[in-house]
Amino acid sequence: MTACPSLDGPTVLNLRPRFMPLSCTDSSCPIRVLLFLAIMAFVMNPSHAQTDPVMDAVELAPQLKWPAFPDALEAAVASERIVLVDVWSHTCGWCRKQQEEVYTQPDLQAFLLETFELGRLDIDQDSDTLSYRGYTMSSQMLSAGFGATATPTTIFLEPDGQYITRLQGFHAYEDFFNVLRFIGTESFREMSFEDFMASDGD
């Protein structure tokens, strides 16, 4: 397979995700890792989780069915919609949380399905073969090319497949919906995300 160069564009959405990978920089790293895992186990236990009144007040939509990445690109050519690519992993708890708690919000999901073509990349899949803009590579290689260093990562592409930007990490409903509106209304072509939010996200 052909090696893929970095596809990072000039813009990367820098919202602070609810989860970032833990890095080890000193001799206390094993203790920090154990502490981190204990905290994550506590947070991810539904019996300890705090409820979100906004999310609890509505009936959730069904979970999304994600088309394959090549199907998303093909559909975008016909629809001329921006492509949203969900980079995920089978072992990613935050990916499941995003699917179950964020993508199932009815208004967010309706906007998503009306505005974007959806596709998915498995960051752990290194034995498949994908074609992208003249390169042949695995899902893992393409995910890395898009700059995905952790999951979930959300990639946005032009209808012709050109890279727009990415958003790394889990983001709660309101934060994520603001990003979808910023990209989906194509406001990113005229202003920064900060300016978009200052204009009340309209």
Give the pLDDT confidence score for residue 200 in this predicted structure: 75
Domains of the chain: total: 1
Evaluate the CA torsion angle 90, 85, 184, 65 in order and state its sign. Answer: negative
Q: Is residue 85 part of a domain?
A: yes
Give the pLDDT confidence score for residue 155 in this predicted structure: 98
Give the pLDDT confidence score for residue 176 in this predicted structure: 97
- Residues 181/164, Cβ–Cβ less than 8 Å: no
Q: Is residue 77 part of a domain?
A: yes
- Residues 57/130, Cβ–Cβ less than 8 Å: no
Give the pLDDT confidence score for residue 142 in this predicted structure: 97
The pTM of this model reads 0.75
User: For the domain that residue 163 is a member of, what is the CATH number?
Assistant: 3.40.30.10
Q: Is residue 17 part of a domain?
A: no
Distances (CA, A) of 66 to 8, 36, 49, 159, 192: 23, 31, 27, 17, 29
Q: Is residue 3 part of a domain?
A: no
Q: Is residue 8 part of a domain?
A: no
In the DSSP assignment, the letter for residue 18 is S
Q: What distance in Å separates the CA atoms of residue 84 and residue 116, rounded to the nearest whole number?
A: 6
How many angstroms separate the first and last alpha carbons of the chain? 44
| Burial class of residue 75 in the structure, from the number of CB atoms within 10 Å of its CB (0-12 exposed, 13-18 middle, 19+ buried) | middle
User: 65 lies in which domain range?
Assistant: 60-198
SS (H, E, C) 122-159: ECCCCCCCEEECCEEECHHHHHHHCCCCCCCEEEEECC
Give the pLDDT confidence score for residue 14 in this predicted structure: 54
Residue-by-residue pLDDT tens, the chain, 202 positions: 544 444 444 445 655 444 333 333 344 444 444 444 444 444 444 444 444 555 556 799 999 999 999 999 999 999 999 999 999 999 999 999 999 999 999 999 999 999 999 999 999 999 999 999 999 999 999 999 999 999 999 999 999 999 999 999 999 999 999 999 999 999 999 999 999 999 976 6
Which residue in this structure is represented by tokens 């199907």?
71
Q: What distance in Å separates the CA atoms of residue 129 and residue 81, rounded to the nearest whole number?
A: 24
Q: Is residue 5 part of a domain?
A: no
Give the pLDDT confidence score for residue 8 in this predicted structure: 47
Give the pLDDT confidence score for residue 23 in this predicted structure: 32
Q: Is residue 164 part of a domain?
A: yes
Q: Is residue 187 part of a domain?
A: yes
Give the pLDDT confidence score for residue 46 in this predicted structure: 44
**Which is nearest to 105 in space by CA: 45, 52, 47?**
52
